[in-house]
Amino acid sequence: MNQNGVVFLVLAFLTATTVSLPSSPDRFLKSALTSLRSPDVPQEYQELTLPSPSDHLTPSCSHLLLRHSFANTINKPPYTAPYTPPPSDCTSPPWSHVNLDLRAASSGDQYDRISGLWLGGVELLRTSTAEPSPTGIFWKVRKDVTRYSSLFTRSDLNVTMMLENIVNDVYTGIYHINVTLNFYEFNTIDISRRESPADLIIPVSNDGGGNRGFWFMIENSEESYSNKIQLPLNTRKIVLELYVSSHGNDEFWYSNPPDSYIVTNKLATGRGNGAYREVVVKIDGRNVGSEVAFPVIFTGGINPLFWEPVVGIGAFNLPTYDMDLTPFLGMVLDGKEHEFALSVNNGISYWLVDANLHVWVDHEAVSVEAGSGSYDSPKRHVVRKEVLEEQLDGSFKVEAEVRSEFDGWVKSSEGNLTTVVKSVFKVGSLVKFEENGAYKRVEQRVETKRVVEVTNELGKQVNRVVHERSYPRTVITSTLRGLSNDKDMYVLVTNVSQALNERYLVGEALTEVYNRQDSDGWMQVEDHNVLAGEARTRQSLSYIDEFGCYSRTVVAANGEIDQDSSSDTCPSSSSS
């Protein structure tokens, strides 16, 4: 074969493999546009949150946890410093409330970044950054950290914050961060109904945290990371709190098509493996719980113009997931080490996962007795329907349901209490491509329910907690090409609707939270830079419990807040 023949073959191969389909949704940098329209004073960004009882109270003590500027921190160890507890003359435990106040500021051009904050390897906050503008942006995050109280008096801990950032000629935004702890004295806030914080918290996190952060980086389904934990013999209750975020090829996992679609169409994308993921917790190899985590959209995600200056749900304070593992105390209370492991079913690169094990002990006894019911692994039912059509079209569905029920008893000075934990979650997912792949519709609906029931030796129920979450979302992306001679330029029309709703029932007391965002707009894109566009996001956040109601509606359009109204009157139907 002559040389021309070889060249021809190579070219034919190239044309067939490099289909110019943007792998959307994607992550973008909005700098080029915002530098045109950014206001001349630094702008405040925010994530809408519910009012907290501490909002109008003066803390008895404020204590600086860290102050640091994250410049070119990529591939470097996290920021680490010794932690000093608040001085005893300022306040001493027990506190009625402790909150963490993070202030951030940045200016220049920069992608969104993920960040974790740990105290002694226990994660206190998973957050992400807003993409700055040349004139600067700033924001604050407030999180109730009362449940971590047992750590705050210790003087043998390091505080660690990981925020990998790139600063060079192109990306100029440095993130300046201050974190303060605010302590509130006893009795200023009614805490009668709330459970007291755990006596100790044991991290299930990366021991090498000083080098790469305490989270485990999980890159595939087979990877599992664990810690060996020896529990005190007088442990009477344990709750595992899971921290999780997904990135890289799994940042938009709910929109990933199966590999069959990628292979058939010879696409050059790693974002596959279908649209189902489950974070799994195991003790000594047994699946004791799992979670389909709420996929947080970071500020560069899908259409970055949606998230200025109101960011996506959870972007500044990612939700965490509690699992009551008390039924398993019978398996682990033998004075020996047991393996607590974390993994991601169907996960691809990469996930950042760790957990905190909250431990309550019996102060009246040096040891307790415990027994676990017979172990049945969770019942998992996953159905996938894949329809590959002409060219780049296709429709991919996943329906999943996972159920489990565990029970165990603990005989402590409080008596012989049996805990039953029932959990169920249902997931429905659709990823559909039309118009030769240019139009993509993604739908996902996740519903989870966890019931924890505690009964005494007489069979009388002493506590019942029901926690339900539902997170529906729809993401539509429509790619328009050929609008200019530049073949790397295109227009992306995007619609996103997402919600995170919760119902929390403690005994008879019900709390409900509804949080929903609807965004629509378009943007002109070249490579990953947004050159022009228009966007609008409407968010409504409401809350109702036995004491009252609260609701707030905000509309942000083209980088500014157009409407912001809030109310604390209950809808007339529920107030008589």
Ligand X SMILES: *[C@@H]1O[C@H](CO)[C@@H](O)[C@H](O)[C@H]1NC(C)=O
Residues that bind ligand X (CB under 6 A): 67, 80, 103-105, 156, 158, 176, 178, 210, 369, 371, 409, 411, 416, 418, 457, 476, 495, 520
Tell me how far, at minimum, the Cβ of 407 lies from ligand X, in Å.
9
Specify the residue for token string 């985590």: 293
The nearer residue to ligand X, 104 or 293, going by C-beta atoms, is 104
Closest CA to 466 of 491, 483, 449, 481: 449
Amino acid symbol at 278: E
Tell me how far, at minimum, the Cβ of 520 lies from ligand X, in Å.
4
Quote the tokens at residue 187.
């009795």
Quote the tokens at residue 390.
């002409």
The nearer residue to ligand X, 67 or 194, going by C-beta atoms, is 67
CA dihedral 133, 74, 161, 209 (to 10 degrees): 160
Q: What is the largest CA-CA distance in the chain?
A: 90
The nearer residue to ligand X, 67 or 363, going by C-beta atoms, is 67
Tell me how far, at minimum, the Cβ of 355 lies from ligand X, in Å.
19
The nearer residue to ligand X, 218 or 475, going by C-beta atoms, is 475
Decide if 32 contacts 530 (C-beta within 8 A): yes
The nearer residue to ligand X, 292 or 315, going by C-beta atoms, is 315
Residue 16's H or E segment, with its range, is helix 3-17
CB-count exposure of residue 505 (10 Å: 0-12, 13-18, 19+): middle
Closest CA to 472 of 445, 500, 495, 447: 445
Closest CA to 34 of 170, 171, 136: 136
The nearer residue to ligand X, 10 or 41, going by C-beta atoms, is 41
Tell me how far, at minimum, the Cβ of 200 lies from ligand X, in Å.
15
Quote the tokens at residue 354.
């760790």
Beta bridge partners of 562: none
3-class secondary-structure state, position 471: strand
Quote the tokens at residue 312.
């996506």
Quote the tokens at residue 14.
């190239």
Tell me how far, at minimum, the Cβ of 427 lies from ligand X, in Å.
22
Sequence-ordered list of residues with C-beta below 8 angstroms from that of 161, at least 6 positions apart, any chain: 66, 68, 78, 79, 115, 116, 117, 118, 177, 179
Tell me how far, at minimum, the Cβ of 69 lies from ligand X, in Å.
9
Tell me how far, at minimum, the Cβ of 335 lies from ligand X, in Å.
18
Tell me how far, at minimum, the Cβ of 409 lies from ligand X, in Å.
4
Residue 204's H or E segment, with its range, is strand 200-204
Q: What's the distance, Cα to Cα, between the start and end of the chain in Å?
A: 89
The nearer residue to ligand X, 249 or 372, going by C-beta atoms, is 372
The nearer residue to ligand X, 91 or 455, going by C-beta atoms, is 455
The nearer residue to ligand X, 53 or 371, going by C-beta atoms, is 371
Decide if 256 contacts 274 (C-beta within 8 A): yes
Tell me how far, at minimum, the Cβ of 272 lies from ligand X, in Å.
24
